[in-house]
Structure 1
Amino acid sequence: MHRILVSSVPDCRTGGEMGCVTVIEPVVGLHAFAMFMTYPLLQQYVYRRLWEQLSGSPFPVSVNQSHCSNNYTNLSIHQAVQRETSHFLIQTELCFLFPSLVSSLFLVSYSDSHGRKVAMVPPLVGSLLFTLTCFIVSKYSLSLSYLLGAAFFAGFFGGTSTLIGGCFSYVADCCGQDLAENSKREKTVRMARLDMVLGVLSGFGSLCTGFYIQATGFSWPFLSASILHLLNLMYVLGILKEPQGLSVQNLTPNQSSSSHRAVAESPQLATSQVMTRRFHGVYLLFAASTRRRNAVLLLILSAFVFYKVSKLGAMSIFLLYELNPPLCWSEVLIGYGSALNTLIYLSSFAGVSLLSRWLPDAHITLLGLLSVATGFFMATFAKTTLLMFLVRLPLLLSIMPAPVMRSMMSKLVLSSEQGAVFACMAFMEMLSMGVAFPVFSSIYAATISWFSGFTFLLAAGLSLIPVLLIGVMLWLRLDMKEEESKILTSEDDSEDSTGSEIPH
């Protein structure tokens, strides 16, 4: 049985498997480029379709539709279209959110015992089906309700957060649990590199959308995104290699033989047990652990949630704030702002790469959180174009907390628990998105008449909560090095006991 398990792991040296590449960055980059080319496409397509339905006339592409203009002949139609578009996009988000919350926990946790591709392939299939549906709907002018069904199935297959969780688990497996400073730094830097690739390719995808629409319309960009997802799927299935020894580490010969007997005796029972175990693994991540490790994990996870809510919520308001008075930005200025937002990912990656040489992870996280709070506080009072551009300066390190907190949690768990911990983070990230966007949009609409910068002030305040949580962790001296040494000792004992049971 041990020979069977070893042979199931791809080995480039034997040439028996196609998958011989461990470079995960192309998976994240292609997916980010395709999806962030799709999001603005979908918003603009829905807006134009609803304009045609409500006004009974073609969309006036040649008319200047600045939010600061009061020269509209049918201002009520514009307001109605904006309202209906907002409602439809919220329905789409909810159709995607609820199934994806469950599937993300299952798929990323399930990858602990069945390979990381389990958490990568379904989201890519779901994204491919979603963009193909968008292409068909736009090509043949079908009902927009098909997009709601496509969003539900895309969420059922996991969505972007599930794919990202699987990719971060993949990086954690490749870096291992070595306590050497170089190995720990490598894990933090490589996770920061994944976030950098995600942000930069997302920015490029968003910037390309406008030019593509002007040149070809909506159908071809949707089809191009589908082709990118298909190429990504082919890369994962045919070229990407599973982390070496994953199945051997997580399933001993005795466990494997007993599980095979259970399947043979009662297939239906085994299936239900497998489903239960996957969610039970997330539960055991905290239930079967020490109080000290649980305290550290919960503090970091809570800090991650507040960081995501504050950052996602405030960044979702940036475009509306720049379009409305007193800034009244044009498309050119918005493009420059988007380019600077992409630069933030590059500067944050450079910050993690350099600071990780001298500072521990917790201090790098605190520095990034202070960058977030300072930038949003400055945006609260930005009333001129120059000041709004300068807001990006204190935000240059604002992406650092996400990959560093992922790395901190990864270092605290066993190799067999990497999927479970990233499943929790994927679940909380999607939940944060589901809360941040509607809540901040509602608050912005309610406060724009008396204090348009209130949402940024709120985000700055929320970003101080994770500063407090990380500070509590340091104040209580919940030393991560002690927990990491216990993890390494547990890994070594497990390997020794497994090796002694294997017949030679």
Structure 2
Amino acid sequence: MKGLYLVEPVVAVYAFASFIVYPLVQQYVYRRLWQQITNTSYPVIDTSSQCDRNSSNHSSQYEEVQKAASLFSMYSELFSMIPSLLVTLVLVAYSDQRGRKITIILPLIGSLVYCLCFLAVSIFELNLYLLIVASIVSSFFGGIGTMLGGCFSYVADLFEDGKQKMLRMAGLDMMLGLLSGVALISTGYFLHATGFNWPFFTAAMFHLLNLVYAVLILEESRVIDSVANAETNTYKWKKLTLGIYSLFAQGSRRKNCLLALLIIIFSSFSFAYFGGLSLVTLYELNEPLCWNEILIGYGSALSTAVFAVSFVGVYVLSRCLSETPIIFIGVLSVFTGLVMMAFIKTTLLMFLVRIPMLLGIMPFPVMRSMMSKVVSKSEQGALFACVTAIDNLTTTVATAAFNSIYSATLSWFPGFPFILAGGFCLIPMSLLSVLRFLGLENSNETESLLPEEETSEEETDNTPVA
């Protein structure tokens, strides 16, 4: 049976299975902590989402549980960060020599282990802190960063044309968003109807099916020379280290400046975006919103519409704008939404505030495509290893930092972390003006930074786009 060069189904199924679990973990931890701290069962809240303001003691209990839940999330992120970063850096860079499928298969195994551990804790009501252990164990297989780094490298192997590559990468982001949105809509009803056990089991089965597809059906995008494959392990590790090092060591000053600037813009925007969004569920559980699982599912699903709208935005805007303005529009979209979110007090406004953020994902595929064009084809894995590792680091630090800030500022202004996240958006917006000033955003100039033999080869393979 001939394999397929379609990595989109892997991303789609992975997104669906992961985002069934992601909001459940926060809610499960929140409910278990509520029972431990208050010694009472978790209160059932109807869809009107009105908080019980008649008891000051009840309000103080909400605040105590909120702080404990945010700190639990911070510990889980921090303890699993280092293994995940190291695995991502090694695997994705090593895929230049070993092939891309290893970066997809291992994270799927880790996700399967993660779901099964959560299922065991939920069924047998084991110690809550075993969930942190499960997170650490799964991180040794890589994580979503490892898999996405491998998938973006996979796409970079298949396409030479810059615009086609950018649209295909935007398509991966769209698949990630659409399927996660479907998962988030169904999660609330699933949880309401069956409790926590069945959703965890369902997610595990989807990860298992995805693993079968990746192992047996997905074709390898990067053909490995059998002679190179026979090299000693010592030489392979030397090549791996040199591959990461050569991204900057062997490039021109102009190339290094552009690549470093793009990575800083990418990571600073990721820090602000994911740091702010990591608090949304806790903010919705808190007064004055006090959302239940149904409303949380709808809100999260509406947030993921940003992936589809951002894909359309990239497709349309790329016809009339260069990369830098597209990135700026996306960052501005996130800045506006985060600042508005800090002052939301009603359910209707909490839904509507998602609208200004609908173009917020556009910067990610555009910057990935720009960085991909800067380096040679043999360095795509090393590039995405560095980008993904830095992105994972900034996202994890952002999640931990913003959870800590939320816990500290909860009593006087719960919306303060959103304003802070919006303020961090000013950093990539400022750096974009520097990128524009240096005149490096033009696609033709970017491609000229590649070695002469690579660019001539690409020009031969490329055909004009109508």
TM-score (norm 2): 0.88
1:359 aligns with 2:321: yes
Distance 1:203 1:70 in 2: 35
CA shift in 2, pair 1:328/1:154, >3 Å: closer
Q: Which residue of 2 aligns with 1:47?
A: 30
| Structure 1 counterpart of 2:394, from 432, 437, 446 | 432
Contact 1:19 1:237 in 2 (8 A): no
Identity of aligned residues (%): 47
Q: Which residue of 2 aligns with 1:304?
A: 266
CA shift in 2, pair 1:52/1:290, >3 Å: same
List aligned pairs for 1:108-187, cutoff 5 A.
Answer: 108-176=92-160, 183-187=161-165
What is the RMSD computed on CA atoms of the aligned residues?
Answer: 2.8
Q: Which residue of 2 aligns with 1:222?
A: 200
1:237-270 C-alpha deviation (Å, 9 max, x unpaired): 1111111x5425xx9x6xx3xx73x53xxxxxxx
List aligned pairs for 1:244-259, cutoff 5 A.
Answer: 246-247=223-224, 256=228
The DSSP-based 3-state class of the residue aligned with 2:240 is helix
List aligned pairs for 1:340-351, cutoff 5 A.
Answer: 340-351=302-313
Q: Which residue of 2 aligns with 1:192?
A: 170
Contact 2:21 2:203 in 1 (8 A): yes
| Structure 1 counterpart of 2:19, from 30, 33, 36 | 36
The unaligned stretches of length 5 or more in structure 2 are 459-466
CA shift in 2, pair 1:387/1:425, >3 Å: same
Q: CA deviation at 1:85?
A: 3.5
CA shift in 2, pair 1:61/1:308, >3 Å: same
Distance 2:54 2:237 in 1: 57
Distance 1:416 1:200 in 2: 31
Choose 159-168 or 45-54, whichever is displaced more: 45-54
The DSSP-based 3-state class of the residue aligned with 2:224 is helix
1:375-414 C-alpha deviation (Å, 9 max, x unpaired): 2233344455554444333212111001111111011111
1:443-469 C-alpha deviation (Å, 9 max, x unpaired): 334444554443333222211211221
Q: Which residue of 2 aligns with 1:499?
A: none
Q: CA deviation at 1:69?
A: 3.5
Choose 45-54 or 29-38, whichever is displaced more: 45-54
1:92 aligns with 2:70: no
Corresponding letter in the other structure for 2:355: L
Of structures 1 and 2, the larger Rg is shown by 1
| Structure 2 counterpart of 1:472, from 434, 437, 445 | 434
1:484 aligns with 2:447: yes
Choose 356-365 or 440-449, whichever is displaced more: 440-449
Corresponding letter in the other structure for 1:376: L
Q: CA deviation at 1:112?
A: 0.7
Contact 1:185 1:357 in 2 (8 A): no
CA shift in 2, pair 1:472/1:75, >3 Å: closer
Q: CA deviation at 1:53?
A: 4.3
Distance 2:210 2:97 in 1: 23
Distance 1:359 1:446 in 2: 42
| Structure 2 counterpart of 1:240, from 218, 233, 236 | 218
List aligned pairs for 1:252-331, cutoff 5 A.
Answer: 256=228, 260=230, 263=232, 271-325=233-287
Choose 124-133 or 321-330, whichever is displaced more: 321-330
1:123-178 C-alpha deviation (Å, 9 max, x unpaired): 011111111111222222333343232211211111111001100111111113xx
Choose 186-195 or 362-371, whichever is displaced more: 362-371
Distance 1:446 1:127 in 2: 32
Q: CA deviation at 1:320?
A: 3.9
CA shift in 2, pair 1:68/1:102, >3 Å: farther
Choose 230-239 or 445-454, whichever is displaced more: 445-454
Distance 1:449 1:79 in 2: 7
Distance 2:199 2:44 in 1: 21
Contact 2:17 2:203 in 1 (8 A): yes
Distance 1:452 1:50 in 2: 20
Corresponding letter in the other structure for 1:340: L
Contact 2:311 2:362 in 1 (8 A): yes
The unaligned stretches of length 5 or more in structure 1 are 1-17, 177-182, 264-270, 496-504
Q: CA deviation at 1:121?
A: 0.8
1:27 aligns with 2:4: no
Corresponding letter in the other structure for 2:224: S
CA shift in 2, pair 1:86/1:324, >3 Å: closer
CA shift in 2, pair 1:435/1:190, >3 Å: same
Q: CA deviation at 1:493?
A: 7.2
| Structure 2 counterpart of 1:203, from 167, 181, 185 | 181
The DSSP-based 3-state class of the residue aligned with 2:358 is helix
TM-score (norm 1): 0.82
Contact 1:21 1:240 in 2 (8 A): yes
Alignment length (residue pairs): 455
Q: CA deviation at 1:330?
A: 6.1
CA shift in 2, pair 1:274/1:385, >3 Å: same
Q: CA deviation at 1:355?
A: 1.1
Q: CA deviation at 1:88?
A: 3.0
Q: CA deviation at 1:63?
A: 5.9
Contact 1:112 1:419 in 2 (8 A): yes
